[in-house]
Amino acid sequence: MYKFEDYTLIVKETDKELYIEVPENRFIAFLKEIPASSLRDYGPTQEDAIKNLKKEFDVYSEELRDKSIALPAPETKVDYSGRILLRLPKWLHARIADLASDEEISINSYIVDRLINNSSVEGMFKTFCNLQQRLFEESPYRFNSPRIKDEKHMMHPLKLLSLKHYGSTAPKEDYGNVG
């Protein structure tokens, strides 16, 4: 008999409409290998959704055991070594070596740090904010738009930007709203 921990756990945020109407249904948890209609549970937090799913799994597996039905087999988990061979163009290898040297870290640490920053939500958010800041600072245009400083502001749609040129070759007309 398989245990809860043997399966691939997936936790997602539900549609905003659902959790606004039913706040305890903000997150949904399910096991990848078990059909969606058979086993899933909700919770106001990710932890609660997982706890609720674990309880539901215990009941579900007991019901199947009583009916002499086996649980679906979990996926075979790959045991990753943490090592990867990566081939780069020489120019990119040199650039990464220079950037790592500037930060006084190894090439490996530099690459791992960049991968983590670019593949996590927090890292992507920081990258977005940095790009936005550069846009505001380097552009010859003046933007009248709220700056995104935290994730709360990111949840709301951005207002259209009011765009005006203030450089030395600035035309006199207003460019209107640009989305």
Q: Classify residue 30 by burial, with Cβ atoms within 10 Å: 0-12, 13-18, 19+.
A: buried
The model's pLDDT over 72-126, given as tens digits with 9 standing for 90+, comes to 888 877 777 888 888 989 999 999 999 999 999 999 989 988 887 777 777 777 7
The reported pLDDT for the residue numbered 142 is 66
Which residue has better confidence, 146 or 136? 136
Q: How many CA atoms lie within 13 A of 82 on its CB side?
A: 3
If pLDDT is split at 50, 70 and 90, which confidence band does 145 have? low
- The answer to whether residues 10 and 31 touch, using CB atoms and an 8 Å cutoff, is yes
Sheet holding 177-178, edge to edge: 141-144, 161-165, 177-178
Tell me the whole-structure pTM to 2 decimals: 0.44
Mean pLDDT value of segment 24-40: 82
Predicted confidence (pLDDT) per residue in 61-72, tens digit: 998 889 998 888
- The answer to whether 43 and 30 are in contact (CB under 8 A) is no
Cβ atoms 154, 125 nearer than 8 A: yes
pLDDT of 4-15, one tens digit each? 888 888 888 888
Question: Which sequence spans correspond to the domains of the chain?
Answer: 4-66, 138-179
- Cα–Cα nearest to 6, from 62, 77, 65, 58: 77
- Spatial separation of the C-alpha atoms in residues 134 and 176, rounded to whole Å: 22
CA distances from 33 to 59, 98, 128, 168 (A): 17, 45, 35, 62
